[in-house]
Chain A
Amino acid sequence: MSSLEIDAVRKVWPGARGLETTAIEDASLRVSSGEFVAILGPSGCGKSTLLELCAGLEPLSGGRILIDGEPVTGPNPKVVMVFQEHSLFPWLTVEDNVIFGLRMKGMGIDERWRRGREVLERVRLVKFAKHYPHQLSGGMRQRVAIARALVGQPEFILMDEPFAALDFQTRVLMQQFLLEIWSGFQSTILFVTHQIDEAVLLADRVVVMSAAPGRVLEDVKIDLPRPRSMTDPAFNDYRMRLTAHMEREVMRAAEFQ
């Protein structure tokens, strides 16, 4: 059983001439094994920062984050992160991008190659193993990024608006793809988005964050069977409820600026 515990976390960015910005204030959240949790919030609410803190990429200003009971002090092999577009290494082929993490850990070349093939088969990209990222469409690139995340069989996958840069059609396909692939792996997913539909469509739980400084406002369990449909009346109830929250937060964020 794996667990991720965010406990009263605070993050302050230092600014010029001692002007500090509080990105996150007293955020707490528990995620348990195998869950798909979406973090929803307006732009600039610190949700991406929260993911980077979980990934150990930035030091905390207060509180603590525990992964399987261990405090996070730096990048952790149990956790990987998927960013928006352009996080593939442009000088590496699809295959070499996918096995990058295995190579960093010093895994033998045969094992690396075998695992890479296996994952590429699952994301149906074997044909493109020798292609370079710039030869792929935006959706295919994100499939490679997801394959790269899955290949090391991490306990947690942190996704920072992975589909935000894609067009509507591709995004819908990628959401289906993610659910499909997730059902085959046991990873726990923390998924940041600013799109309400995406959050309700994908997640077991939707956590709403407030505008700057980011706080956890509400934690909504999405009690709908999968596959979900956006035209389902129950889906609409969740959408309305979350929209109300988001509207309030967007207005509040606008007042801050």
Chain B
Amino acid sequence: MNGVLKAAAAALVPWLVLVGLWEFGAATGSLATTLFPPPSSFVKFAIENDFRVGFGSEAMTVPAAIIASSFRVVAGLAIGFVAAVLTGILVSMSRWLSIALLPIVRGLAPIAPIAWIPIGIVIFGVGNPTAIFVVFTGVYFLLTLSTVAAVQSVDERLVKTARTYGASPRQVWTHVIFPAVLPQVFTMLRINFFAAWMAVLAAEMVGLKNGVGMIVILGREMFNPNLIMLGICIIGVTGYAVDALLLFIQRKILWWKTAE
């Protein structure tokens, strides 16, 4: 636990320095506070407004916005991961499925998740399902391809060992290949998390009208730099926290690839 605290402190120091310089620049007038209001300004603003932003039907609290956005990205990642691993394994099991599906997956993988936003809104309307759908499309195709690649790189000795110990072809898939590919695919999930996170924010900005992405847009509409900067900082901190959660899962639950 001591090590974790030390690591957290070490990560915090550069930030404290940056905030110090920021405050110093703002206080001495060498930084345009209309564009870059310092934390002392936008945090004060948030406290004064009781952590509430927006008016009428668009009003929301900051914690609710953070929870809404995090839920969307985590749900989209989870569904995308499970679906991609299952698809990748099924495709790898059958030559015909791979011939039929892989070219399509390969064609859809390079499409930026943001491009799916209009389609998501048409299909699911304005709400959580659209945001989850956008995250899903952002990771599903890529992770399916990396599952297929991971299956091909499973150590053949593990497969042979399982077979000599009486594992049926199906048991080789469920007891050897499935656990063997999980860490590698999860690493890809982490790499693609940032793209998925950006997609959620974009979806919130253009259509969903809530979540942390909306805070920035509200700030723009109201010409309120405090709100914009507050939104940006929350996006950064929340993204960092979700990434830390993914890293924790990788280290505690899916550790075996990294442990070799």
Contacts and interface: CB of A to CB of B under 8 A. Distances in A.
Contacts of A134: 256, 259-260
A86 B157 contact: yes
Contacts of B40: none
A104 B259 contact: no
B171 interface: yes
A113 interface: no
Nearest to B167: A104
Interface string A79-121: 1110110110111000000001100110000000000000000
A166 B256 CA distance: 22
B149 interface: no
Contacts of B257: 90
B150 to A, nearest CB: 14
Contacts, number: 59
A87 B161 CA distance: 7
Nearest to B166: A104
Interface residues of B, number: 21
A55 B163 CA distance: 9
B59 interface: no
B160 A57 contact: yes
A253 B126 CA distance: 71
B63 interface: no
Interface string A51-79: 01001110000000000000000010101
Contact of A90 (B166, B168, B256): B256
A77 B167 CA distance: 10
Contacts of A238: none
A152 interface: yes
A132 interface: yes
Nearest to B176: A89
A80 B158 contact: no
B220 interface: no
From B162, B165, B168, B175, name the one whose CB has the most chain A CB atoms within 10 angstroms: B165
Interface string B144-171: 0000000000010110111111111001
A81 B175 contact: no
A143 interface: no
Contacts of B166: 75, 77, 101, 104-105
Contact of B162 (A86, A104, A158): A104
B260 A90 contact: yes
Contacts of A87: 157-158, 160-161
Given A57-B160, A79-B164, A134-B256, 11 more contacts: A55-B164, A80-B165, A81-B160, A83-B160, A86-B155, A86-B157, A90-B260, A100-B165, A100-B175, A104-B175, A134-B259
Q: Nearest 3 CB-CB pairs, A to B?
A: A101-B165, A90-B256, A81-B164
Interface of B: 155, 157-158, 160-168, 171, 175-176, 179-180, 256-257, 259-260
30 contacts: A55-B160, A56-B164, A57-B160, A57-B163, A75-B163, A77-B166, A79-B164, A80-B165, A81-B160, A81-B161, A83-B160, A84-B157, A86-B157, A87-B157, A87-B160, A89-B158, A89-B176, A89-B179, A90-B256, A91-B180, A91-B256, A100-B165, A100-B175, A104-B162, A104-B165, A132-B256, A134-B256, A148-B165, A152-B165, A158-B164
